[in-house]
Structure 1
Amino acid sequence: MKAFVLEQGELKLRDVPEPKVGKGEVVVSLKVAGLNRRDLYIKNRWGNKEEALVLGSDGAGVVEDVGEGVEHLSVGDEVIINPALRWDKNSDAPPEGFDILGMPDDGTLAEKIAISAKQVEKKPDYLSWEEAGVLALAALTGYRALVTKGNVQKGQTVFIPGAGSGVATYIIQFAKALGARVIVTSRSAEKREQALKIGADLAIDTNSDWKKELADETIDLVIDSIGRATFNKSLQVLKQGGRIVIFGATTEDTVDFNLRDFFYSQYQLFGSTMGSREELRELIALMEKEKIKPVVGHTFKLEDIQDAFDFLEVNSQFGKIAIKIS
């Protein structure tokens, strides 16, 4: 079968052996996989190892084979892949043994995948294959940051620096479904307009004076994945006693901030990473109730996946990138 792999430091599309089903597993014939920024970073972390690693964390497809002991799934079921491995129940932090699919386990950028049946959920009927294929990683990350860690409440205001990421598009829609007001930033006028179309109440220029722009707003919760470039600016607009949740750092990881200002203002700082199977099921239920759809910005064929990687690196997309497998 065809798969997109990282091998000896090089990305390549090549033939690999088809996976065989094991006890407690299913083999899924993938229709669509999602491309994430994580896939860009893995090349640096995996290094020049000789064994080929199949990239990809998100995916959706049809169950092709069912292993011994699997009773809740059948051949022909339409499913999505849960990339948060070995994290069943919601907890304060991931349990020992937690990994994200796509490293060190082979991922979804392939025609088929063998995976524990615990990592598979039924595909919501109202979603297209493209929408289902890009769902889990970004939606789960956003839901945990907003709901579990951020504890968003109806009537509160959520501020999201950077409106174009896949995670941000989910947070905007989840927050609105839960009755919150949403404010976002972007350097791109087009992305600001797109954010408003999917529910954001206000979209401001990232390069503007946030304190001035938001002088009449009360920011209860900041959800930031940019890092050093926005952290202190976010604190300046957060209300005293407000919460800030960090789930990524696309700029530099290290941040300097004034501890005295922080503790006098009674800010609350939370870290967040992915989420549990329990949270994934909660967010799917919310999506089905509100008919929330993932934002698919661009779709590429598997044979054109290098073009998709190049496009992702430029960071000009709004929403998710889908890879059509079959």
Structure 2
Amino acid sequence: MQALVLDGTNQPVQLREVPTPQPGPKQVQVRLHAAALNHRDVWIQKGQYAGLKFPIILGSDGAGIVTEIGEGADESLRDQAVIINPGHNWGDNPAAQGRDFTILGLPNDGTFAEYVCVPAHYVQPKPAHLSFEQAAALPLGGATAYRALFTRAALQPGERVLISGVGGGVALLALQMAVAVGAEVWVTSSSEEKIEKAVALGAKGGISYHTAKWPAELAKQAGGGFDVVVDSAAGPGFGNLLDAAVPGGRIVFYGATQGDVPMLAARKVFWKQLSLLGSTMGTEQDFAGLLRFFDEHQLVPVIDETFPLAEGEAALRRMDQGQQFGKLVLKIIY
């Protein structure tokens, strides 16, 4: 089969012929129609991820057709259009993943290929209203956003939500779901164009996070602070989120792209009765809830650009530049 292979740190992915994987016991083989990128793929390529091993086929997100059935797997899955849950071996505790938790695309070969094999219980029917490209854009980012909003922050209709750094896949999926559930959503970005696009998706408005004292200015626009704040950056600007939250607010963060928080204003946290909630990926129940939510509300993930598999390196570089609005997708079958 054709696959994009990463041979080492700071190397470009290369399209080459590799053996087609065959399903083991209780596994299925999926003929991938589309795969999607995540920042995780860029971090692995740069060597900024734990458990590196090479060569590796990157890619956590994918959708396609089940073509082969391993021993003990459900034969009825054959020829079914499926979406792959990339979070494997969560463990028995729904509150946090266990030591054996893995994400497809490292340590096991992922979806930047014509075929992938996964345990059969990690494939679910592709939402009928989504194309393969749209379905491929959903799994990792969607599960992350769903768990952050609903499992961790317990978002309720009518609450005011702030989503920082809108434009990335998780942030946009969180925006779409929060709007669909009846929340009032506001955003931050360094780009006025991205804020305008977020408004077109249902956000009430937004502000550049380069604006001086932006939490106070945004609160004036919104008519108050925010019940739920969703963040992926952390870093030096995290203190602004403490200011943006209402007393009793919940701040849920699923990443630290700007690094650790250098100084935390502890007094603001305890005096405002804030909850700081970490979140990573999602359980199988979170993933099932995500699919039900997208089906019920007929939501469609935002796709920034679609590339052929052979141009996977160009797609990775676009992600690295951070200019995208929505998911970057590799179309494998035309």
**Given the alignment of the two structures, is residue 24 of structure 1 paired with residue 50 of structure 2, yes or no?**
no
Q: Deviations over 1:266-308 (max 9, x none)?
A: 1111100000111111111111111000001110001111111
Number of equivalent positions: 326
Q: Is the 8 A contact 2:91 2:97 kept in 1?
A: no
Q: Secondary structure at the match of 1:7?
A: coil
How far apart, CA to CA, are the structure 2 residues paired with 1:71 and 1:47?
34
Q: Secondary structure at the match of 2:227?
A: strand
Gap regions ≥5 residues in structure 2: none
How far apart, CA to CA, are the structure 2 residues paired with 1:49 and 1:199?
39
How far apart, CA to CA, are the structure 1 residues paired with 2:6 and 2:176?
34
How far apart, CA to CA, are the structure 1 residues paired with 2:309 and 2:243?
44
Distance change in 2, residues 1:188/1:93 (3 Å): same
**Given the alignment of the two structures, is residue 239 of structure 1 paired with residue 242 of structure 2, yes or no?**
no
Distance change in 2, residues 1:253/1:5 (3 Å): farther
How far apart, CA to CA, are the structure 2 residues paired with 1:25 and 1:309?
29
Q: Is the 8 A contact 1:7 1:48 kept in 2?
A: no
What is the percentage of aligned positions where both structures have the same residue?
39
How far apart, CA to CA, are the structure 2 residues paired with 1:132 and 1:164?
18
Partner of 1:212: 217
Equivalences for 1:136-147 in 2 at 5 Å? Answer: 136-147=139-150
Partner of 1:321: 328
How far apart, CA to CA, are the structure 2 residues paired with 1:189 and 1:121?
37
Distance change in 2, residues 1:245/1:255 (3 Å): farther
**Given the alignment of the two structures, is residue 175 of structure 1 paired with residue 182 of structure 2, yes or no?**
no
Distance change in 2, residues 1:310/1:169 (3 Å): same
How far apart, CA to CA, are the structure 1 residues paired with 2:326 and 2:227?
25
Gap regions ≥5 residues in structure 1: none
Per mean C-alpha deviation after superposition, the further-off stretch among 226-235 and 24-33 is: 226-235
Equivalences for 1:152-301 in 2 at 5 Å? Answer: 152-208=155-211, 209-215=214-220, 216-301=223-308
Q: Is the 8 A contact 2:68 2:78 kept in 1?
A: yes
Partner amino acid for 1:237?
A
Q: CA RMSD in A?
A: 1.8
Q: Is the 8 A contact 1:66 1:73 kept in 2?
A: no
Shift of the alpha carbon at 1:60? Answer: 0.3
Q: Deviations over 1:159-201 (max 9, x none)?
A: 0111101001111111112111101011112111111111111
How far apart, CA to CA, are the structure 2 residues paired with 1:145 and 1:49?
27
Per mean C-alpha deviation after superposition, the further-off stretch among 137-146 and 179-188 is: 179-188
Equivalences for 1:56-205 in 2 at 5 Å? Answer: 56-71=59-74, 73-87=76-90, 91-205=94-208
How far apart, CA to CA, are the structure 1 residues paired with 2:92 and 2:53?
35
How far apart, CA to CA, are the structure 2 residues paired with 1:310 and 1:131?
21
Distance change in 2, residues 1:182/1:134 (3 Å): same
Shift of the alpha carbon at 1:229? Answer: 3.9
Q: Secondary structure at the match of 2:133?
A: helix
Distance change in 2, residues 1:168/1:48 (3 Å): closer
Partner of 1:5: 5
Partner of 1:41: 43
